[in-house]
Structure 1
Amino acid sequence: MIAFLAALSFSYLSKTLSGTIMKSSITQIERRFDLTSSTVGFIDGSFEIGNLLVIAFVSYFGAKLHRPKVIAVGCFTMALGSLLTAMPHFFMGYYKYETTSHTATSANLTSSINPCSLHQDVNETLLEVSQSGCEKEPSSHMWIYILLGNMLRGIGETPITPLGISYLDDFAKEEDVPVYVACLHTIAMLGPMFGFLLGSLCAKLYVDIGFVDLGNITITPQDSRWVGAWWLGFLIGGVTSFLAAIPFCFLPRSLKKPEEANDKTSYDLLENMRKKLTPAQSKRRKWSVILKDFYTSLKKVLSNRMYFTFLCCSLLQFNSFIGLFTYKAKYMEQQYGQSTSKSNFLIGLTSLPPVGVGIFLGGLIMKKYKMGITGATKFAFIMSFLSYVTTLLHFFVGCENHVVAGMTVSYEG
């Protein structure tokens, strides 16, 4: 069990690392391919699209197969997706930046207007921006490969959590499961921390590092035309995912069950169903009944009021969390005048470690007080409410907007 927990922890680390690398590369990809923020948001959301396409099927059918090996296939798929995401860099030529910075032609005009910057002049050419100047066309359609790679990474990530957690639940002692899950999520939080720090480092490196003479580069990371080595992080993430897949190839399909399980695990339920079927019945079942059983199981799960309520709460929670996680670095760039590198560094160093500590402490508290479903629900509600109240303080922290004609005030004003 310890070997499986270690392998699963590393896979959690690799998937969160790769995901954070995408978040920290948003600005670099936007500049490199001349994309709008909405397009980059769609690219980032392709991960969830890939995940949603297969999550139900993988969770249902994967439980009937060799779960560690299914997770291994998922990790290999994540590695392939990360490598595909980095591929456009090697085929689209060197990055050519303009010799002068044209603020007025930027699709995101606020990118060079930092409300908290004390020494900043607003370019007068903002007054002359036309509608055609606000419309932006991608410099290359190679960004589609980034979208496909991110979607493939989402597909590969699918089996890790449902099959990994069910494997722990089946073969670990009941009182140890909360601690194991807390350890998983705590280690998983190291992924975003290292991911943002790696993103900060890559943002400092010029996009074509190793291919051009850096002595001829006249811009710095503080320049709005600067593009960092966004592709390097995806290569590292791909290698990490590949390494995470290897241990699962050598783990057994099942482990020795704890005595208190008494044939109540999902693994035993599936095994008992197989024993009740003759070979002929089993063969017929594969082709005629299995899809019907899948539909019945899905309907039964979604008709469970408690589970459906939890699902709706999780939907709202992750909807806000993903939006914050994706655009927080860009918000810090625009609101506080920080570089992409420094924004990623600050997020990785200050925001994420407390989350990991909180998850681990939550698991210990649940084990110490032996919380059931009701107790865990009350505990989660109280903590979520306190988090919500604390988050409201963000409305009182910020800077006044610059007076920009056509943006914050009318042209007549």
Structure 2
Amino acid sequence: MEQLCCEERLGELGLEKRRLRGIFLGALAFSFFAKGFSGSYMKSMSSQIERRFEISSSIVGIIDGSFEIGNLMVMVLVSYLGPRVHRPKIIAVGCLIMSVGAFLSVMPQFLMGRYNYERITVSVDNSSTSVSACSPTKSEGPPATDATETLSTVINAGCEKTTNSYLWLFVLVGNLLRGIGEAPIMPLGVSYIDDFSKEENSAFYIGLVRSSGMFGPTLGFLLGSFCASLWVDLGVVDIDAISINPKDTRWVGAWWLGLLICGAVNFIASLPFWFLPYSLPKEGENGNLKISHLSVQADPCKIEPPAQPQLKFSEAVKDFFPAVRKLFGNPIFVVFIFLTILQYNSLVGIITYETKFMEQQFNVSVAKAIFLIGRYLTSFQIPVSKRKLLFVILPSVLAGAYFACITFIVAYLLNLLYFTCSCEVLQVAGLTAPYSGFKIIGYETEFCNAECSCKVDQWDPVCGENGITYMTACFAGCKSSSGAGRNMVFHNCSCVEGQGLGLGNSSAVLGQCQRESCTKAFPYFLALQTACAFILALGGTPTYMIMFRSVSPDLKSFAVGIETLGGRILGGLPAPIYFGALIDETCLKWGTKSCGGSGSCRVYDTKEFRNVYLGLIAGLRAGCCLLYIVLSVLIMKRFKADGKEMTDIKNAERSTSKEIDTANKRDILPGSRTSEESEETYM
């Protein structure tokens, strides 16, 4: 009877453990989704944050790099010591920290007041509906009379709030917290799965979790597209009164709205982990459960949980430096680290500034650019979901190295075709194009808008009938107008020479001129981008297979931490900063803050922008191609065709199984062998 009772209790306990395994897998999949969701959303909002705080691209790069700083602060410690702590609770704390970071980043929206975009001063006569942007030079001195009034002007009401210039620090600190919070999710979650799963099920579970998480980046970009199409002061300002559209470089979307959603999602992701146990027994095994028969009064079927190991810091770190020497004494691992650093640099540069590149190069709105990036991200999901198939097709390290090398070189050659998707420079009078007409007075030549009092630091562009963009209607010499808001049309523009109308009889409309060649080249750019993304994703799994089969099984966890640390501290951190600084050098016209000082860039030299952006990516990936070739040569020398490779692999697998049974001797992360791509690509 007693034996039957105990067997029944063990059966109930087994059912409970299976239920807990399912809860953990579901919770981890949702946490992967949450971190990818918030990470991709923050990337998509980089241009909106730049315009809202009127900062340069290099400062945006610093904000973006703060995520890497937070991540690397705890990544190695988590990877090395993580499996010896209560992993579910540490993951819960991480998700909670990400939630706090997202909510903290929203604070400036409620501290800065309304967004006042840069506009010119125009005047209207009460006796007519005509509005003039060209005011005589003499009229600049005396105040306006009762017959004139300001229709739209640069608002200086908030100039006394000088601290607004530094409120972007809230976003930086929030992003830093997101990096700290994300660090434990991948290594601790993967090791926890590997501890309770069978050898044949571990890869399946991890692949299932990651496949579920892949929807996060896609939905994050789609949410970014939606928020970018909404006005920043949603529900506070009358949209019909706004004279700019989402294609305008002064447009700022509701960047803060998505962060509220991201914070809520991360908070929800933290909840299940608080109720999960320290560890779970291996699938199909009850070896760790003991039945107590100590006394008659005690419960004869009492189940004793496995003892929780005590963490001794001195014992945990005593092998740290020998492990580092062993890893960096492996030439394959060293080359792999340099390859990771270069790939991180190119990848982070692409993701951070791609929306800005598409907007400036192809004249599309930020919302559309973000939406398209979210759509082509789905091409990553197909090869990642076929991870197990790739392991079957490429059973050897050497075959995997050849496959990864070939796919990367093919993607690199396709990358070079980006330069053929050219687009002419935006024709801006006085910046990239000369004025079309001059007035000849006696023996002197005078500019067509000399009679107007135009301020060179203003940007409120109009497009003339001649296809040239003017910085303001004043610079076009427009004397009158009709309509209001976005539909305003300026007439009698002395600098615009229309076909058959002559100089001074043409009109201009609000906004920059469209560039036809950009519209035609955009579909080819998207096709190349999708093809490159698909091919690079195919080669991602074999590349990680190289690392995991080239290091000792007991160092796999540590190798993941070192690889991630190296990639992020030398790639993810500096890349957005120097990409942004070089992009700033191609700016033709900087905006002006309402209280004075330089703001964000309004228009770039698109040719120089393209050469800098694509040239940096091509240069970094050229280095990757060389390292792939070196890696293939090293692997070919190490793994001979005489069967040594398979012997090494079998020995590694036996060693891994032994280490699982003797986890108290050494900390490993065997589940990492299924590979985990760099997570901020999240993306």
CA contact (8 A) 1:189 1:352 kept: no
CA contact (8 A) 1:187 1:356 kept: no
Residues in 1 aligned to 2:226 and 2:38: alpha-carbon distance in whole angstroms: 15
Equivalence for 2:405 = 381
Residues in 2 aligned to 1:84 and 1:408: alpha-carbon distance in whole angstroms: 35
Offset of 1:373 from its aligned partner? 4.4
CA 1:221–1:370 in structure 2 vs 1: closer, same or farther (change >3 Å)? closer
Equivalence for 2:46 = 26
Equivalence for 1:112 = none
Equivalence for 2:336 = 310
1:97-124 deviations in Å (ceiling 9; x for gaps): 12239xxxxxxxxxxxxxxxxxxxxxxx
| Higher CA-based Rg | 2
Equivalence for 2:219 = 194
Offset of 1:326 from its aligned partner? 1.2
Residues in 2 aligned to 1:395 and 1:220: alpha-carbon distance in whole angstroms: 29
Equivalence for 2:379 = 354
Residues in 2 aligned to 1:7 and 1:342: alpha-carbon distance in whole angstroms: 32
CA 1:250–1:90 in structure 2 vs 1: closer, same or farther (change >3 Å)? same
Residues in 1 aligned to 2:86 and 2:279: alpha-carbon distance in whole angstroms: 8
* SS state at 2:181 partner: helix
CA 1:331–1:50 in structure 2 vs 1: closer, same or farther (change >3 Å)? same
Offset of 1:402 from its aligned partner? 4.5
| Counterparts of residues 224-303 of structure 1 (less than 5 Å) | 224-258=249-283, 285-286=312-313, 288-303=314-329
Alignment of 1:390 with 2:414, yes or no, is: yes
CA 1:95–1:247 in structure 2 vs 1: closer, same or farther (change >3 Å)? same
Residues in 2 aligned to 1:90 and 1:182: alpha-carbon distance in whole angstroms: 41
CA contact (8 A) 2:247 2:363 kept: no
Give TM-score scaled by structure 1 length.
0.77
CA 1:54–1:302 in structure 2 vs 1: closer, same or farther (change >3 Å)? farther
Runs (4 or more) in structure 1 with deviation over 6 Å come to: none
Pick aligned residue for 1:90 from 110, 132, 136? 110
CA contact (8 A) 1:172 1:258 kept: yes
Pick aligned residue for 1:45 from 47, 57, 65? 65
Equivalence for 2:242 = 217
Equivalence for 1:176 = 201
CA contact (8 A) 1:34 1:139 kept: no
Alignment of 1:158 with 2:183, yes or no, is: yes
Residues in 1 aligned to 2:173 and 2:181: alpha-carbon distance in whole angstroms: 12
RMSD: 3.0
Pick aligned residue for 1:10 from 11, 17, 30? 30
* SS state at 2:51 partner: helix
Offset of 1:61 from its aligned partner? 2.1
Residues in 2 aligned to 1:273 and 1:83: alpha-carbon distance in whole angstroms: 35
* SS state at 2:275 partner: coil
CA 1:298–1:194 in structure 2 vs 1: closer, same or farther (change >3 Å)? same
Offset of 1:255 from its aligned partner? 2.2
CA contact (8 A) 2:394 2:400 kept: no
CA contact (8 A) 1:179 1:364 kept: no
Alignment-mate amino acid for residue 26 of structure 1: S
CA contact (8 A) 2:361 2:606 kept: no
Offset of 1:273 from its aligned partner? 12
CA contact (8 A) 2:53 2:168 kept: yes
CA 1:141–1:213 in structure 2 vs 1: closer, same or farther (change >3 Å)? same
Residues in 1 aligned to 2:320 and 2:399: alpha-carbon distance in whole angstroms: 32
Residues in 2 aligned to 1:149 and 1:23: alpha-carbon distance in whole angstroms: 14
CA 1:197–1:100 in structure 2 vs 1: closer, same or farther (change >3 Å)? farther
CA 1:211–1:241 in structure 2 vs 1: closer, same or farther (change >3 Å)? same
**Structure with greater proportional helix content:** 1
Equivalence for 1:61 = 81
Pick aligned residue for 2:349 from 317, 323, 347? 323
Alignment-mate amino acid for residue 321 of structure 1: L
CA 1:64–1:190 in structure 2 vs 1: closer, same or farther (change >3 Å)? same
Residues in 2 aligned to 1:319 and 1:408: alpha-carbon distance in whole angstroms: 22
Alignment-mate amino acid for residue 230 of structure 2: L
CA 1:298–1:83 in structure 2 vs 1: closer, same or farther (change >3 Å)? farther
CA 1:75–1:30 in structure 2 vs 1: closer, same or farther (change >3 Å)? same
CA contact (8 A) 2:423 2:606 kept: no
CA 1:179–1:273 in structure 2 vs 1: closer, same or farther (change >3 Å)? closer
Give TM-score scaled by structure 2 length.
0.48
| Fraction of identical pairs, as percent | 46
Q: Which has the higher contact order (CA 8 A, sep 6+)?
A: 1
Residues in 1 aligned to 2:209 and 2:343: alpha-carbon distance in whole angstroms: 20
Alignment-mate amino acid for residue 177 of structure 1: S
1:185-242 deviations in Å (ceiling 9; x for gaps): 3333311211111111111111111333434333322222211111111111111111
1:223-275 deviations in Å (ceiling 9; x for gaps): 22211111111111111111111122222222232579x99xxxxxxx9995x
Residues in 2 aligned to 1:408 and 1:222: alpha-carbon distance in whole angstroms: 16
CA 1:355–1:170 in structure 2 vs 1: closer, same or farther (change >3 Å)? same
Aligned residue pairs: how many?
355
Alignment-mate amino acid for residue 348 of structure 1: G
Alignment-mate amino acid for residue 333 of structure 1: E
Offset of 1:290 from its aligned partner? 4.3
Alignment-mate amino acid for residue 331 of structure 1: F
CA contact (8 A) 2:46 2:60 kept: yes
Equivalence for 1:99 = 119
CA contact (8 A) 1:7 1:247 kept: yes
* SS state at 1:175 partner: helix
Moved more, 52-61 or 393-402: 393-402
Offset of 1:8 from its aligned partner? 1.4
CA contact (8 A) 1:34 1:138 kept: no
* SS state at 1:257 partner: coil
Alignment-mate amino acid for residue 82 of structure 1: A
Alignment-mate amino acid for residue 21 of structure 1: Y
Offset of 1:174 from its aligned partner? 2.7
Residues in 2 aligned to 1:257 and 1:391: alpha-carbon distance in whole angstroms: 46
| Counterparts of residues 402-413 of structure 1 (less than 5 Å) | 402=426, 404=432
